[in-house]
């Protein structure tokens, strides 16, 4: 096999892999956006909120995120 033929094969293969990765990235980004929006919409429609910070038990108070977001939607 000539060097030129091998170079062309690698270039074409690389371009195909790049196109495949680009398409895969776009699909995954689209799915992530859909999931984020869907969860947000469902939680807001159901009016789900965090438990108020003063109603948390001792174990839950150890989690800073629960205390910080207590009572928020």
- Domain residues for the domain of 12 are 3-68
Specify the 3-state DSSP secondary structure of 52: coil
> In the chain, how many domains are there?
1
Residue 14 has a pLDDT of 97
Residue 4 has a pLDDT of 93
For 47-59, letters b (16+ CB in 10 Å) and e give eeebeeeeebeee
In a domain, 21, yes or no: yes
CA neighbours within 13 Å on the CB side: how many for 52? 2
In a domain, 73, yes or no: no
**For the range 16-21, what are the long-range contacts, defined as Cβ-Cβ under 8 Å and sequence gap of 24 or more?**
none
Taking the alpha carbons at both ends of the chain, their separation in whole angstroms is: 66
d(CA 39, CA 3): 54
- One digit per residue, the tens of pLDDT, for the chain of length 73 reads 799 999 999 999 999 999 999 999 999 999 999 999 998 898 889 988 888 888 788 888 888 888 888 888 7
Residue 8 has a pLDDT of 95
């Amino acid at each position: 096999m000539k060097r030129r033929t091998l170079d062309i094969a690698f270039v074409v293969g690389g371009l195909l892999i790049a196109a495949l990765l680009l398409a895969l990235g776009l699909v995954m980004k689209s799915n992530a956006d859909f999931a984020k929006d869907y969860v947000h919409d469902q939680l807001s429609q159901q009016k789900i909120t965090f438990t108020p910070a003063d109603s948390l038990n001792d174990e839950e108070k150890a989690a800073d995120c629960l205390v910080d977001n207590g009572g928020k939607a």
